[in-house]
Amino acid sequence: MDTIFLIFVIVFSAIIHEYSHGWMANQLGDQTAKYAGRLTLNPLKHIDPIGSILLPLILIPTGFLFAYAKPVPYNPYNLRDQKWGSLKVAIAGPLSNFILAFIFGITLQLVPIGPMTSFLYTIVYANVLLGVFNLVPIPPLDGSKVLFSFLPASALRVRQVLEQYGFLILIVFIMSFSQVLTPIMKFFVDLFVGGGPRF
């Protein structure tokens, strides 16, 4: 895969990911993202200098490429669905990436093998990467918000510890355990492209 193209796709897919959070929150009654000017696909509104540019460049030598856009703000207290609203907003981001992976995976299966094949496969791969990685239940990733939606009140201490040390735990996970995601990613990539790349 061409590294520069992969970084570009990851960044743009991360923008769609963040937009989807804002869109879902808006659908559920919270217009915070809209008022902040973030309910748009304009890249200039979402690009984070560190997460969208510096981080992927630093990660190139490691072989594990990742990027993120500026988180879209939302106020959970404005959501009409107070029980599951935060869960819906959280899951909207990864879901948007899986939808993109599905669409481009179908396209990949329909087009003849040629120059576009590698590009389409890269788009599928990048979106599966974002979707799977963001579902890891470590703050500030979306997976933590999914986890917190199901934790009982008695597990408040667990949530507090994860929120306090989440970024450190995430760094350790990326450095030591990120390869555990490889078989999960392979499963979804193969699922979306019909068994694997055709080039």
**CA dihedral of 99, 38, 24, 122, whole degrees rounded to 10:** 10
- If 0-12 CB within 10 Å is exposed, 13-18 middle and 19+ buried, where does residue 174 land? middle
pLDDT for position 56: 85
pLDDT for position 199: 57
Query: What pLDDT digit, counting tens, does each position of 77-128 carry?
Result: 999 999 999 999 999 999 999 999 999 999 999 988 888 899 999 999 999 9
Query: What pLDDT digit, counting tens, does each position of 33-65 carry?
Result: 999 999 999 999 999 998 888 888 888 787 777
Span between the terminal Cα atoms of the chain, in Å = 11
pLDDT for position 113: 83
Boundaries of every domain in the chain: 3-193
Nearest to 64 by CA among 74, 72, 73, 55: 55
Banded model confidence at residue 197, pLDDT cuts 50, 70, 90: low
pLDDT for position 59: 80
Give the C-alpha separation, 120 to 143, whole Å: 27
